[in-house]
Amino acid sequence: MSLVRQRSTDPASSEEPATKKPKTVPEFPWPWNDPPETDTYIDKIKSPILDIRVGPDAKLFQVHKRVLTDKADFFGKMFDGQFIEAAKKAADFPEDDEAAWEELIAWSYGAFFHVFLPCDRRRVNLDAKEALAFFNRIKLCCLAEKYNIIRLYNLGVDSLIDFLWQGPSTMPILSWDVFQVCCRYAYEHSAEHTGLRHLFSTYFCYLLSCPKEDCESTYDSQQMMSLASDIPDLMSDFFKITQQSSGPDSTKPDNIDPCVFHMHIRPANEECPRALGGCSSFKWPRTEAQVHYSVQGMYEPDMSQGCRVMRLAEVIGVATKDVISAVDSLIKDVANVEWLDEGHNVDLINPKKWQKIMEHEQEE
């Protein structure tokens, strides 16, 4: 939509219109330039049932077609097009993981996405349930990458970052056996130059070079280099990071702007709109940027209470007064956030409402 002064239609008018640069209202990426859903939940569950068979054992999942196709264009083309799967209302995915599909379907139906995976950092190592939850989240990220489900992928990667640095412990949360299995899976099931690979290679470099006061790595350096030798792409990524930082990088991945590890549909030279869009002018790691990012990452369409200030303060690691000040600054900056209960609950602005706000700003 362009807001441009119109030329006079009066033939008697000889006044030349003033030269003025057209103003453009930025398109709201909701999410990531996808339009808001128009189908109601009832519409979706009235759609035909699909038979989805996953894995080598062909585990059967039955899901409403509209629920799945609304989440990914890949499935829309498969089940709404001329492919045999559309006629049969069924498809086989023998190479996919069953646990990842379970999470994908639950998320597609609107189940709350647990960005914060369970973990008790008072123990040195994870228990089997916690380790499995982390491993399954990696599988979900690989599945979301495969079918280009960008929002799910980015939230999944965010949860991995958060998981790796939960609690005050300076020791790696993953045992060596768990880490090397997860690393191998991530590299075997994701494409080159993806955020998931970059996350693991960055973490790998950090564990090799981190100061003891930051991370008391229990991994043997010879084991780590042996793993890199077994995974040529990991070795290549390791050397790229080393060259870019003039040596092994000891920067903690949770201190890096999370969008570095995200999947993007925009050109690489444009600012990352993070989880849902509506960029502010505050750069990482400003508190405003971290608050904005966290609100977007924690957002769910059915959340009626928004995000609690106390929870945001806990996640970011700052005082509640700093979160309140940051939200006020974001609102003044015309970011896509607003108070639901001032000083207590903050939420994302409805895209249509935000669009009107931006139009008003452009007209002034």
Average pLDDT over residues 21-49: 54
Q: Residue 179: CB partners within 8 Å, gap ≥ 6? A: 172, 219
**pLDDT level of residue 248 (50, 70, 90 thresholds):** low
Please name which of 168, 179, 178, 174 lies closest in space to residue 201, comparing C-alpha atoms: 179
**pLDDT level of residue 183 (50, 70, 90 thresholds):** very high
Range name among 58-67, 176-185, 242-251, 310-319 with the lowest pLDDT average: 242-251
Q: What distance in Å separates the CA atoms of residue 259 and residue 29, rounded to the nearest whole number? A: 15
> How many other C-beta atoms lie within 10 A of the C-beta of residue 351?
18
Q: What pLDDT does 64 receive?
A: 94
Q: What share of the chain is helix, strand, coil (3-state, %, to 5)?
A: 45, 10, 45
Q: What pLDDT does 292 receive?
A: 83
Range name among 122-131, 163-172, 176-185, 341-350 with the lowest pLDDT average: 163-172
Average pLDDT over residues 197-203: 92
pLDDT above 80 for 265: no
- 358-361 long-range contacts (CB < 8 A, ≥24 apart) are 358/25, 358/26, 358/28, 358/334, 359/1, 359/3, 359/25, 361/334
Range name among 95-109, 196-210, 270-284 with the lowest pLDDT average: 270-284
Identify the residue with better confidence: 205 or 145: 145
Q: Residue 330: CB partners within 8 Å, gap ≥ 6? A: 280, 282, 288, 291, 292, 337
Identify the residue with better confidence: 200 or 242: 200
pLDDT per residue as tens digits for the range 29-42: 333 334 445 556 67
- Count the alpha carbons within 13 Å of 67 in the hemisphere toward its beta carbon: 21
Q: What distance in Å separates the CA atoms of residue 339 and residue 332, rounded to the nearest whole number? A: 12
Identify the residue with better confidence: 301 or 182: 182
Identify the residue with better confidence: 13 or 68: 68
pTM above 0.75, yes or no: no
Helix axes 176-188, 232-244, angle to 10 degrees: 100
SS3 313: helix
Average pLDDT over residues 130-159: 90
Identify the residue with better confidence: 274 or 47: 47
Q: What distance in Å separates the CA atoms of residue 249 and residue 240, rounded to the nearest whole number? A: 10
Average pLDDT over residues 332-338: 82
Q: What pLDDT does 144 receive?
A: 95
